[in-house]
Homo-oligomer: A and B are copies of this chain.
Amino acid sequence: MLARSARPFAFDLLKTDTRTAARAGVLHTPHGDVPTPVYMPVGTQATVKTLTPDELVAAGASLILANTYHLSLRPGAERIAHFGGLHRFMGWERPILTDSGGFQVFSLGHLRSVTDDGVTFRSHIDGSTHVFTPARVIALQEAIGADIIMPLDECLPYGVDEAGAAVSLERTHRWVERCRAAQTRRDQALFGIVQGGMLARLRRASATWLAGLDLTGYAIGGLSIGESKDEMHALLEEVTALLPARKPRYLMGVGAPEDLFACVARGVDMFDVVLPTRLARNGALITAAGRLNIRNARCADSLDPIEHGCRCYTCARFSLGYLHHLFRAEELLAYRLATLHNVTFMLDLMGRIRASILDGTFEEMRARFLEGYRPTDAAAREEQRSRWLEAQARKASCR
Bound CA span A383–B329, Å:
28
- Assuming the A-B contacts A318-B91, A332-B336, are A325 and B49 also in contact, with contact meaning beta carbons closer than 8 angstroms in the complex? no
Residues from chain B with a CB closer than 8 A to the CB of A322 are 46, 83, 89-91
- The distance in angstroms between the C-alpha atoms of A324 and B45, with both chains bound, is 12
Interface residue? A328 (CB, 8 A): yes
Closest to A84 in B: B303
**Please, which residues of chain B bring their CB within 8 A of the CB of A328?**
74-75
Check if A47 is an interface residue, CB within 8 A of chain B: yes
Return the contact of A329 from the options B45, B303, B329, B332 (Cβ within 8 A): B45
Q: How far is the CA of A356 from the CA of B233 in the complex (A)?
A: 69
Q: A328 vs B331: C-alpha distance in the bound complex, in angstroms?
A: 20
Is A10 in the interface zone, CB < 8 Å from B?
no
Find out whether the CB atom of B333 lies under 8 angstroms from the CB atom of A47: yes
List residues of A whose CB falls within 8 A of some B CB: 45-47, 49-54, 74-75, 79, 82-83, 89-91, 281, 300-301, 303, 313, 317-319, 321-322, 324-326, 328-329, 331-333, 335-337
* Chain A to chain B contacts (Cβ below 8 Å), 17 pairs: A46-B322, A47-B333, A49-B331, A50-B332, A51-B333, A52-B313, A52-B333, A52-B337, A54-B313, A74-B325, A75-B325, A79-B301, A82-B301, A83-B321, A89-B321, A90-B322, A332-B332
